Amino acid sequence: MSEPPGATVTLAETTITDDPSKSLIAQRVRPLRRPGRWIVTSVVLVLIAQFVHGLVTNPFYQWDRWGYWFLRPTILDGLVITLEVTAYSAVLGLVGGIVLALGRLSKSPVLRAASWTYVWALRSIPLIVVLIFLYNFSALYATLSVGIPFGPAFFSFDESRLATDMVVAVIGLSLNEAAYAAEVVRGGILSVDQGQHEAAAALGLPKGYQFRRIVFPQALRSIIPNYVNQLIGLIKGTSLVFYVSLLDLFGSAQTMGSTYPGDTVPLLLVVTVWYLILTSVVSVVQFYVERHYARGATRSLPPTPLQKLRTGLTDLRARIRREAAV
C-alpha cells in the first residue's frame, strides 16, 4: 500500500532503511535445530572415548611389548615379503585381467566362454583353497613338460624345484586377482562411449591400434581408480600366504606368537597397525589417482585434505567474527 503524497515518514522506518547491516542481522536465518543428530553424535563420541580408554588402560594389550616388537627385524622381514608378494601379484593380476577382459569381449565364442568360466570359477573358489591346492600341485604333476600337445615333450623340469613358496604365493594371488581385475578392466572398456569406437572404425584404423591408442587410454580413467581400490583387498589377502609356509608379515607374527605365547596380543596389534599403515598409504594414492583422472569429467576437482582443512579454518574464523559482532 503506497503512502499518499506529502505523508510523514516515522523515525523508526528511517533508521532501518539507513542501516542495512542491522537490518540484515535482524533478518539472519537461524539454522534448524536437530536434537536427534546431537544425541547420536554424543553417543558415538562416548563409545569412541570408551574404546580409546580401554586401549590405553587395559594392561592385557601390553603396549610396552608392542613397542618392542613393532620394528624387530623379524617383523620387518615379513613386511618386505608382504610388499614383494603384493607388488608381483598386482602387476601379474592386472595383466591377466586385461587378457581375460579382452577374451570376454572377443567375438570368438570359445574365448568368451573360456574367459567367463575362469572368472566364474576363480571368484567362486576361496583364495585359501587355491593356495593350498597349488602348494600340493607337485603331488598331482611331479614334472611339467613343454612340447607338442598329446605328443613328445621338448624338455621337462621338476615342479617341486620351480614352485618355491614365493612362486606358489604369487601365482595363487595373481590367479585370484586376475579374475577380479578382468571385471574391472571390462567395465572400464565398456564405459568408453560407443561413438569413440565408431569414429575409430570410420577412420579405417586397425583393431589393435584402435584399442591401444583410442579405447584403452580412455578406459584407464575408470580402470585405474577401481583397480587401486582392489589393491587394498590384495594387501589383506597376502596374510593367507602363511598357509603355504611363506613367512609374510602375518606369518612372522604368528611364528613369534607361537614362540612367545604371552606376546600374542601385542604381536597381533603390531600386524594390525602395519596393515593399517599399508592400506592407508594405498588409500591416499587412490584418492590422488581418482582426483587426477577426474579432470575433464567433473566441473571442479574434489578438494584435497589440506584444502578441506584450510576451508574449514576459514569458515570457523568467519563464524567467530559474526558471533562476536552480534
Task: Name which residue leads in pLDDT, 171 or 204.
Answer: 171
Gap between the Cα atoms of 239 and 131, Å rounded: 12
Set of cell numbers at residue 68? 618392542
Alpha helices per DSSP H over the chain: 11-18, 20-26, 35-57, 63-70, 73-104, 109-124, 127-135, 137-140, 159-162, 165-191, 194-202, 207-210, 216-237, 249-259, 264-293, 305-325
Spatial contact of 235 and 278, defined as CB atoms under 8 Å apart = yes
Set of cell numbers at residue 244? 603355504
Spatial contact of 249 and 71, defined as CB atoms under 8 Å apart = no
pLDDT category at 150 given cuts 50, 70, 90 is confident
Buried b (16+ CB within 10 A) or exposed e, 259-273: eeeebeebbbbbbee
pLDDT at 19: 61
Residues 237-247 have a mean pLDDT of 89
DSSP, res 156: E
DSSP, res 297: T
pLDDT at 28: 64
> 174-231: per-residue pLDDT in tens?
999 999 999 999 998 888 888 887 888 888 888 888 888 888 888 887 888 788 888 8
Residue 65 CB neighbours (<10 A) = 17
Gap between the Cα atoms of 56 and 103, Å rounded: 54
> Mean pLDDT of all residues in the chain?
84
Greatest Cα pair distance in the chain: 117
DSSP, res 93: H
Look at residue 145 and give its three-state secondary structure. strand
Cell 577374451 locates to 103
Gap between the Cα atoms of 127 and 105, Å rounded: 26
> 44-97: per-residue pLDDT in tens?
999 999 999 998 898 888 999 999 999 999 999 999 999 999 999 999 999 999
Is residue 318 over pLDDT 90? no
- Angle in degrees, 0-180, between the axes of helices 264-293 and 249-259, rounded to the nearest 10: 170
